[in-house]
Amino acid sequence: MDPINHDELYEHYSFEVEKKHDLIRIDKFLLLRIPNTSRTKIQKSILLGNVFCNDKIVKSNYKVKPLDKISIRFEYEPYNKEIIPEDIPIDVIFEDNDIIVVNKSSNMVVHPSYGHYSGTLVHALLYRFKDIEYASDNQRPGLVHRLDKNTTGLMVVARNANALSYLSNQFAERTISRTYLALVWGDVKEEQGTITANIGRNKKNRKLITVFDNTEEGKHAVTHYEVVERFRYVTLVKCKLETGRTHQIRVHMKHIGHPLFNDFEYGGNHILRGTTFSKYKQFVQNCFKILPRQALHATELSFLHPADEQLVMFHSNLPDDMQTVINRWRNYINHI
């Protein structure tokens, strides 16, 4: 579960300079290449360190050379629009005066942001629970953490300011226990293990996260995992977060060579293991159709309740799409 992260989203452009291109300043080069933009906007991106040549930050007086790879990102304006509650079905598995525990479905963004102006979990929560206090962030009322759009499972939402503060402190102190089930590519070698690797925004594409070899880059991230069941070509693993970074499990599992099954953003949507026989290929493609998202589910959540500081624990079974694919893999390897 990702803690709330206030990183900006970016608009991206990238270019490769032609072989016989003249030497010109990079700001002029970008002005000629990007439609409907201004020199001021480009200069601002340069000053913010958002213009790169061959993966290195450059200044406005840099002159582009033939075959240079140029990229620029523009920060979107902060999203700050009124949220109009919407009557959207959500699976609430527990509620009291202080907290709400939701079993989030797939294809649901947690809170409003650029490109997601309606249909979010926040819109649904505000319709059903009109007493949720906004606290300091009127775009994320009650939220102390989040899940990716296509990750399913458990989330806790604070109903008032005291609960929000109490839960936020537990996340900061890493005392909240969070467990996921993930179906990953490959036969994971060890029965259990720990992945410790700094992660942060990809310098080329800020919507993606990457692992940094340099310990001075990115943020410290730790994921513990253990094998639940093996299916020769894929493995069901249980992951427990020690830290809660954006896309942490997805990036860490890819880092050790086991991307999540059908994870489009991190390479799991390709047939990465197994034979090239048409029947196997067709079997995997059928599984992709049943589970058109990364195979990741937040299955267990436990924390101290804000009212009495007693431990509460919640469990969520695998959703139908993920369970169906697991059953198919189980059946497949039993008949080959």
Active site residues: 148
Amino acid present at 124: A
Residue 73, beta-bridge partner list = 12
> What are phi and psi for residue 132, nearest 5 degrees?
-65, 130
Strands 311-315 and 199-201 turn out to be: unpaired
Give CA separation, 143 vs 60, 153, 165, 167, in Å. Answer: 40, 15, 10, 9
* CA 148 to mean position of chain CA atoms: 5
Which stretches does DSSP call E strand in the chain?
A: 2-3, 10-16, 24-25, 51-53, 56-57, 63-64, 69-75, 91-95, 99-104, 145-146, 152-158, 177-185, 192-196, 199-201, 209-211, 222-230, 234-241, 296-304, 311-315
> What are phi and psi for residue 72, nearest 5 degrees?
-140, 145
Backbone CA torsion sign across 263, 269, 270, 271: positive
Classified as helix, coil or strand, 250 is: helix
How many CB atoms lie under 10 A from the CB of residue 164? 26
State the Cα–Cα distance between residues 55 and 189, nearest whole angstrom.
Answer: 34
For 220-240, give the DSSP string: --EEEEEEEEE-SSEEEEEEE
State the Cα–Cα distance between residues 88 and 334, nearest whole angstrom.
Answer: 41
